[in-house]
Structure 1
Amino acid sequence: MITEFQLLDAPAVPTVVVKRAEVAATHLPELFDATFARFHAAIAEGVVAPSGPPFGLYLRMEDTLDIEIGFPGVLQSPDENLVASELPAGRIASAQYWGSFDGLPLAWAEFVSHVAGQGLSVAGPCWESYVTMPEPNMDPTTIRTDLFCAVS
């Protein structure tokens, strides 16, 4: 399920995000859809200058989630719904996942297991970068999502 496991020493990456706390996992699809619709408009209006693919950064994953959804890039003008943030710097594990979004929970389990197999542990936030956005009638095996987490 996952491929191309790597360890990186990464710099912080400036981002523009929507922050939400205590989100039930069952509400994530609606939250992502609404957030990306807002970003689509903000990019068209010149409010956001993205420099990479969209992502979801999981700050806390327990019964509910604290999450930042956004793009690497810069907030060009004030927006009441969007804030500047950053992807963390430091030692980062990464891998590619190819498949539908429904398979992400199993991909994360495989990824975290691989991290542990390297003698490392998750030491901070984890995030997904949505390299390929799905389109109607596309083969889900062609969807690429990159997985990342801070490790020690």
Structure 2
Amino acid sequence: MTREITVPAHAFIASRETVSVDELPAFFDRAYPLLIDALQAVGAHPAGPAHAYYFSPLTETVDIAAAFPLHPEQVAAVEAAHPELVHHVPECEAFTTRHHGSYDTLGRTWQELTEAVRESGRPAGPVCWETYVTEPSPEADPADMITDLYVTLA
């Protein structure tokens, strides 16, 4: 079910690159461990599950950030140690929906969400993201994956 929400202001630690779509798995495989190491180096830990923030449309390449949300009380310490990795999102309006199932079918859910934004008459904002509610792993059944999708509104 697609719905419009207010997303609170938040900070996240992220590794951001422009990569080809074929390189996305390798990007995530190197980015998330780097972020965990950076957090552990200052005694911090993620405030929630992994995210992927998209700063460009998904074409042959994409400007993407692998990220973890930060606990508000840990932002200053993480930012002092790794200022290049910390990003801030102001409070914003967004459309959101939940995807159940394999990442192979995620594109269809993204299309449904972006169509809902178009039908609302509201322009999409500059950022969208995925929140990996269930942690992907080789042992996990793809049918059990849950991913929340967000499109900010301008």
In the superposition, the TM-score normalised over structure 1's length comes to 0.83
CA offsets per residue over residues 96-150 of structure 1, 9 Å max, x none?
1111122222221121112223333312211111111123333222111110011
Given candidates 13, 16, 33, the residue that maps to 1:16 is: 13
Instruction: Give aligned pairs, total.
Output: 147
Alpha-carbon contact 1:47-1:79 (below 8 Å) kept? no
Distance, in Å, in 2 between the alignment partners of 1:38 and 1:69 is 10
Distance, in Å, in 1 between the alignment partners of 2:82 and 2:125 is 32
Could you say which residue in structure 1 is the equivalent of 2:81?
78
More helix by share: 2
Given candidates 99, 103, 106, the residue that maps to 1:97 is: 99
Which residues of structure 2 form unaligned runs of 5+? none
The residue type equivalent to 2:11 in the other structure is P
- Report deviation, 1:91: 1.1
Alpha-carbon contact 1:91-1:151 (below 8 Å) kept? yes
Question: RMSD of the TM alignment (CA)?
Answer: 2.2
- Identical aligned residues as a percent: 27
Which residues of structure 1 form unaligned runs of 5+? none
Distance, in Å, in 2 between the alignment partners of 1:59 and 1:116 is 18
Distance, in Å, in 2 between the alignment partners of 1:47 and 1:84 is 15
Could you say which residue in structure 2 is the equivalent of 1:133?
135
In the superposition, the TM-score normalised over structure 2's length comes to 0.82
Say if 2:4 is the partner of 1:7.
yes
